[in-house]
Amino acid sequence: MTFHSPTRWADALAVRAEHPQAVPIAGGTDAMVELNSGRRRPDRLLDLSRIAEVSGWDTDGGTVRAGAGITHTAIVAQLAESAPALAQAASTVGSPQIRNRATLGGNIATASPAGDTLPTLLACGAAVELHSVGGARTVALADFVTGPKRTQLAPDELIAAVLFPAATGPQHFSKVGVRAAMIIAVCSFAVALFPDRRSVGTGIGAAAPTPRAAVEAQDFAAEVLPWDSLGHLDPAVAGYFGDLVAKAADPIDDVRGTAQYRRHALAVIARRALIWAWDDLRGAVPCG
Ligand SMILES: Cc1cc2nc3c(=O)[nH]c(=O)nc-3n(C[C@H](O)[C@H](O)[C@H](O)COP(=O)(O)OP(=O)(O)OC[C@H]3O[C@@H](n4cnc5c(N)ncnc54)[C@H](O)[C@@H]3O)c2cc1C
């Protein structure tokens, strides 16, 4: 096996162009599982973990640009203010050891329906920045993930960064699992309030072939939330929001849970997430 380990992004893109069959590897926490199990037997690996250019983040005019190589540990430590739900999701990924190695770009490229960062990024309307030697393009995350473990990534491209608006209001991420840590989500949900533009973003995880937004639910909430008065959230509104989120899901029965359970759990965690986010916005003590 040939192992390429560039330290410059331009060199990584050149290797990708010359050897499109080379498998990119960042933290290796998904890729090495595939290799060790024999599901993948590449003759080349393209190590991205030494490239500092894509491992940080910055902001520009209210937009956060998080490099593909930023680790979950760094997200938790550095992006909790500008991306609270993403930081909450990152804090639930694996164990500290996994979070120290595993990257945002790897979570997105794996495109698991249960990938924890994806619902939070969908809730923010994130886009993925893709680079090749030929240039760059930006694709909405909702379009980038095309199916379970399938994406729009071209053979000569790498994920360079993820772009999303910095939080202007509260966000929440909830994950249902059979235990509190080291667990793949049975289902998950993220909500993001943007009071500046009176909009609500949502993301559903592990309850459809791809992570997806609950569009009807977010439009309903944006319409009925009392943005002017910041009044108490009617429990019936939160309940109906949860029902719409459950309706937007398309879950399956599998070893982690039944479709029926997933829909029920989604309705509950979505209702609670909206209540918590709204109470945060009102400056009240979370309840629910
Ligand atoms: C014990 C354990 C627990 C886990 N727990 C969770 C969990 O709770 N939640 C969760 O969501 N995930 C979990 N995972 C999965 C994994 O840790 C995450 O998906 C992680 O974010 C992957 O990042 P990575 O850098 O390790 O990716 P890698 O393994 O390096 O790569 C994953 C895939 O992405 C591709 N890739 C990586 N970087 C790029 C790039 N820049 N451009 C294009 N393609 C790229 C690789 O070719 C590969 O196909 C767990 C894994 C393990 C082993």
The string of pLDDT tens digits covering residues 9-50 is 999 999 999 999 999 999 999 999 999 999 999 999 999 999
How much is the mean pLDDT over the chain?
A: 96
pLDDT for 180: 80
| Block residue for tokens 């699992």 | 177
Say if residue 280 is exposed, middle or buried (CB neighbours under 10 Å; 0-12, 13-18, 19+): middle
| Domain spans, the chain | 2-49+56-165, 171-282
Q: 171-282 belongs to which homologous superfamily?
A: CO dehydrogenase flavoprotein, C-terminal domain (3.30.390.50)
pLDDT for 284: 57
- Cα(30) to ligand 1 centroid in Å equals 4
> What number is the average pLDDT over the span 132-150?
98
pLDDT for 182: 87
Percent of the chain with pLDDT over 70: 98
Interacting residues of 96 by C-beta distance below 8 A, sequence separation 6+: 73
pLDDT digits (tens, 9 = 90+) for 69-85: 999 999 999 999 999 99
Identify the residue whose C-alpha is closest to ligand 1 atom 19. Answer: 107
> What number is the average pLDDT over the span 227-234?
96
262 in Cβ contact with 249 (< 8 Å): yes
How many whole angstroms separate alpha carbon 17 and alpha carbon 8?
A: 15
Identify the residue whose C-alpha is closest to ligand 1 atom 51. Answer: 29
66 pLDDT more than 80:
yes
- Cα(127) to ligand 1 centroid in Å equals 18
- Cα(277) to ligand 1 centroid in Å equals 29
59 pLDDT more than 90:
yes
Q: Is the CB of 105 under 6 A from ligand 1?
A: yes
> What number is the average pLDDT over the span 253-277?
97
- Cα(27) to ligand 1 centroid in Å equals 7
Decide: helix, strand or coil at residue 58.
Answer: strand
Q: Is the CB of 187 under 6 A from ligand 1?
A: no
pLDDT for 179: 84
Q: Does the 2-49+56-165 domain belong in CATH 3.40.50.300?
A: no
pLDDT for 169: 97
| Amino acid found at 203 | G
Looking from the CA of residue 158, the nearest atom of ligand 1 is 42
- Cα(17) to ligand 1 centroid in Å equals 22
Model confidence at 266, pLDDT cuts 50, 70, 90, reads very high
pLDDT digits (tens, 9 = 90+) for 162-218: 999 999 999 999 999 988 888 899 999 999 999 999 999 999 999 999 999 999 999
